[in-house]
Amino acid sequence: DRFVVLAVDDDEDQSLVMRFGREYGLTFNLLLDPGEAVNNLYRIRAIPTSYFVDRDGVIRSMQIGSMTEAQIAYHLSKIIP
């Protein structure tokens, strides 16, 4: 794979998260964050917030709010050679 998409939820019930994924036909991994540990670690203050992390685990780009296809392509260019 050239890249992997992970969605981290904000301390919600698993059944609610899975139902949301089915309702919107999401095909990427939906991860739970009980107690908001990941959200706190990444200092999430707005939803959605997207991080683009390279193969070495280094954050190369970040976007707060929704994105256009052009913005997604721009951020991906920071992590895909």
Q: Could you tell me the pLDDT band of residue 2, with boundaries at 50, 70 and 90?
A: confident
Strands 59-64 and 49-53: antiparallel
Rounded to whole angstroms, how far apart are CA atoms 25 and 70?
Answer: 22
pTM (predicted TM-score): 0.85
The DSSP secondary structure of 45-72, one letter per residue, reads -SSSEEEEE-TTS-EEEEEES---HHHH
Query: Across residues 28-35, what is the average pLDDT?
Result: 95
Structure tokens at 60: 């190369």
pLDDT of residue 1: 62
Predicted confidence (pLDDT) at residue 56 exceeds the cutoff of 80: yes
